[in-house]
Amino acid sequence: DAKTTQPNSMESNEEEPVHLPCNHSTISGTDYIHWYRQLPSQGPEYVIHGLTSNVNNRMASLAIAEDRKSSTLILHRATLRDAAVYYCILRDSTFGSGGSNYKLTFGKGTLLTVNP
């Protein structure tokens, strides 16, 4: 499985933008980049995903490098409720042997602390 590398922790101030980096130098052409987050004492929550182009949704933006070896999750204005562990995950989009490629493999993620 292709691996991702994220900083263990990051800190931000409320109302400021946050840029969460992710390196995935061994990404394959069929890997989608997914971001999930896990708030304290809750299950993970989908944030955003992309393949090649930058993506925006109501929660965040995803900036993908041209060579796809890295990406950045952008929270435009951090709030206290954004304090969570953020996971960057690569997911193979090819359908192989009955669907066994559709796994989400979570790493350690980045613990984001938001200061008031």
Partner 1 sequence: DAGVIQSPRHEVTEMGQEVTLRCKPISGHNSLFWYRQTMMRGLELLIYFNNNVPIDDSGMPEDRFSAKMPNASFSTLKIQPSEPRDSAVYFCASSFELADNEQFFGPGTRLTVL
Residues within the interface to partner 1 (CB under 8 A):
32, 34, 38, 42-46, 49, 87, 91, 93, 95, 98-100, 102-108
- Long-range CB contacts (< 8 A, 24+ apart) of 92-99? 92/28, 92/30, 92/31, 92/32, 93/30, 93/31, 93/32, 93/51, 94/30
Instruction: Tell me whether residue 1 or residue 15 sits nearer to partner 1 (CB atom).
Output: 1
β-partners of residue 24 are none
Neighbours of 79 (CB within 10 A): 12
Indicate the residue type of 83.
A
Q: How far is the CB of 81 from partner 1 (least distance, A)?
A: 17
- Residue placing its CB nearer to partner 1 in the complex, 99 or 116: 99
In angstroms, give the least distance from the CB of 15 to partner 1: 28
Query: Least CB distance from residue 111 to partner 1, whole Å?
Result: 12
Report the residue number, 81 or 116, with the smaller CB distance to partner 1: 81
Q: How far apart are the first and last CA of the chain?
A: 38
Q: Which is nearer to partner 1, 38 or 72 (CB)?
A: 38
Min CB(12)–partner 1 separation in Å: 23
